[in-house]
Structure 1
Amino acid sequence: MTGIYIHIPYCKQACHYCNFHFSTSLKNKESVIESMIKEIQVKSNGYDDLVDTIYFGGGTPSFLEIFEINKLIVSVFKNFKISLNPEITLEANPDDLNDYKLKELSKSKINRLSIGVQSFKEKDLKIMNRSHSSKDSNQCIESAKKYFDNISIDLIYGMPGSDLKSWNYNLNLAISLNLNHISAYALTVEPNTALDRFVKKDIIKPLEEDLVFEQYELMYEKLLDNEYINYELSSFAKEGYFSKNNTAYWLRKKYIGIGPAAHSFDGINRSWNVSNNNLYIKAIKNNKMFFEKEKLSIVDQYNEYIMTGLRTIWGISLKYLKDYFGIKYRNHFINKSQKFIVSNHLILNDDIVKTTIKGKFLSDGIASELFLINL
């Protein structure tokens, strides 16, 4: 099975924390979409794997008109082999989804929404420079529930100036909406963003890591108490509502990226499209190379498996390490992981090594200490 990721490189305005590729100018939107359709045709040539997820990310995919979204979906269905019940997700901003647009989307092949709420606190939304209000989010979600069953919202914790009380407010409101999926991410200060500049100028002070962990711990406990499963560090879902797209990514399954800055993975090679709309259009039009590519060494593959595996409920399989990578890789992992088992950051159950709640929040840092440079 394969996933298709479609990157829509447009936004209404720039969020202060975001370092993804996007443009606020729509002057070449039609040309970008036509180029994406051509890329779909090119990448489908000789491709026989069944596609079971299609994910519109960005940027802001909901910024597109319905007919533009449908145009891209039709192209994927025309050129690839699609499973009987594919998961087709559209990322959306609350202020883009009025009742009419939601109703029209429900008539398309879109069957899952991922709504970028980020916070129900106006102060947080202002810091992030989001284009919507808390009221927009509530209205959007209530309308969306009339047309869609599979809805996820994104939240951000660790906001500057936040505390357990304000984060608890966000969590209680999110839980009260009775949604089947919630993704929550710790705010990170990415290089070359407005947030990065504000921090360097002491305009904004990041929350201390121990306070961010307290917010994660509160979220973990509250969501589990409300029948959510923490199947990946940032992903919580009711039974039967794990995101197929997210799950495939964390289990290192194949995916094809379409659009400027989109990434692809075939199991061994990773590639990424040029992060410039005009260069992307020009390269596609002239049948020139529009992406870069690297082949992952066996060490790279091992390191990626450790990094992704520790973030999930499926953990790291010692048997898989031995069978796929070899006994030396398995032994390296066992030796390096012992101190984290002793410190109660990792737990070994039969063949599987997973993080505890204490280790889950630090999983990326733990993974880096289990990485291999040379063996």
Structure 2
Amino acid sequence: MSPFIIPLFIPHQGCPHTCSFCNQRTLTGITCPMSVAEGERIIDEQLSWKRKTVEQAVEIAFYGGSFTGLPGEQQEKFLALAARYVTTGKVQGVRLSTRPDYLNDAVIERLRRYGVNTVEIGVQSLDATVLQLAQRGHAAEAAQEARLRLRASSIRCGFQLLLGLPGEDWKSWLKTVQETCRIRPDFIRIYPTIVLAGTELEKLYSKGEYRPLLLHEAVERAAYAKAIFQREGIPVIRIGLQDSSELRQVGRIVAGPFHAAFGEMVESHLFQQVLSDLCGQHERQFGLIRCLELGHHAKDVSQIRGNKNNNIQCLQKRYNIGKIIMYETKTPKGQLLAKIDDWRYVINKKNIK
């Protein structure tokens, strides 16, 4: 079971860089610095909220900026606050987000001393040209070095990847995915690049020097990456930006592949791919498909069908399938019991080639 996260947002604090794509105030809706007292109030309030079960673990998370770029004294105050709740048993873990170049040995020792168990690194890309164009201010090797230091301290490490940055094409995205697999973080989040108001990226877009990915292009790249990470046994815990009232305010998003159901669209694309592979192989071996029956988990039905039944319609049209029948069964999520005429198959969207 995933933990119950209590987020404390620290927008742009601890981060002197202004990367071309970044506007944390828009993403979080928070403009005032977070105080320790305010952090304590939020923690106490959310500890009173109902959770899935009494056994569900609780974690305090410092998000919104590069936490380890804060002055050491300020880090100590926030970490001491979180550690107090861990010591009393009210909270079971502490996590934070930061940049890969802000994780030297001394910083990691401080985190370990205060019981931080998870660090999420804003890696964005592992292609040198893309990082330079995004004005990240560090080399691709910084991510691997940070991962190795965290592993040595037994701190879990997550990578946050940003697809569709300036200078990225399929080749550079493939490089990022392959390098991520080689480095092997404990988990991954994948976000599409969107053009936010007030960023350097908005200036490039307005001058015609940057073209954001179309929605279907972003979905394809995210689906490709998730399929590879699944095959390598690296969990992808989130795909797509968290929808919020701040993002939906008029003028906040200038351009780009933002969709509230982006993650759902990626999962649907994976189902489309695995079903297309199956039907294509069957057609090549046995010819015309008269009837396709699909037994599925109840919660998978919308992803299998696709937006406005698009997956089913595309399958029927592409392979000239006479009839498609769907029915619920007790198969695990992501797995399908497929019957094509007299042939039976068990397929899983996690096993896409």
TM-score, with length taken from structure 2: 0.61
| Partner Cα separation in structure 2 for residue 117 and residue 165 of structure 1 | 17
The equivalent of 1:256 in structure 2 is: none
How many aligned positions are there? Answer: 272
Pair 1:107-2:108 in alignment: no
The aligned counterpart of 1:70 is 79
TM-aligned CA deviation for residue 58 of structure 1: 0.8
SS state at 2:189 partner: strand
Q: Are the equivalent residues in 2 in contact too, given 1:17–1:194 (CA < 8 A)? A: yes
1:350 aligns with 2:352: no
In structure 2, the residue matched to 1:142 is: 148
CA contact (8 A) 1:155 1:184 kept: yes
> 1:354: how far off?
7.8
Q: Quick one: structure 1 residues 211 and 77, their matched pair in 2 at CA, closer, same or farther if it must change by over 3 Å?
A: closer
Which segment drifts farther, 109-118 or 177-186?
177-186
Aligned partners of 1:128 and 1:82: how far apart in 2? 40
Higher-RCO chain (CA-CA 8 Å, sequence separation at least 6): 1
1:58 maps to 64
Match of 1:155 among 153, 161, 179: 161
Unaligned runs of 5+ in 2: 27-31, 247-259, 272-295, 317-324, 337-348
Q: After TM superposition, list the pairs within 5 Å mapping 1:311-350 onto structure 2.
A: 337-338=308-309, 341-343=312-314, 350=328
Q: Sort the Cα spacing of 1:355 and 1:61 in 2 relative to 1 into closer, same or farther, 3 A.
A: farther
Structure 2 CA distance for partners of 1:129 and 1:4, relative to 1, 3 Å: same
Amino acid at match of 1:350: E
Separation (CA, whole Å) in 1 of partners of 2:100 and 2:264: 32
Deviation per residue, 1:272-305 (Å, 9 max, x gap): 9xxxxxxxxxxxxxxxxxxxxxxxxxxxxxxx9x
**Higher CA-based Rg:** 2
Residue 6 of structure 1 aligns with which residue?
A: 8
- What is the CA-CA distance between 1:309 and the residue it aligns to? 6.7
CA distance in 2, matches of 1:96, 1:148: 18
Distance 1:233 1:161, change over 3 A: same
Contact 1:119 / 1:156 at 8 angstroms: preserved in 2? yes
Residue 284 of structure 1 aligns with which residue? none
Q: Which amino acid aligns with 1:98?
A: N
**Selected match of 1:180 from 172, 182, 186:** 186
> Structure 1's 348 and 122: CA in aligned 2 closer, same or farther, altered over 3 A?
farther
Q: Distance in 1 between matches of 2:143 and 2:122?
A: 9
| C-alpha contact (below 8 Å) 1:119/1:155 kept by paired residues | yes
Gap change, CA 1:342 and 1:158, over 3 Å in 2: same
| AA aligned opposite 1:157 | L
Q: How much is the aligned-residue C-alpha RMSD, in angstroms?
A: 4.5
1:168 paired with 2:139, answer no
* C-alpha contact (below 8 Å) 1:341/1:348 kept by paired residues: no
Aligned 1:208-247 pairs, distance under 5 A: 208=214, 211-230=217-236, 232-233=238-239
Q: Which residue, out of 11, 19, 29, partners 1:15?
A: 19
- Quote the Cα distance in structure 1 between the aligned partners of 2:226 and 2:122: 20
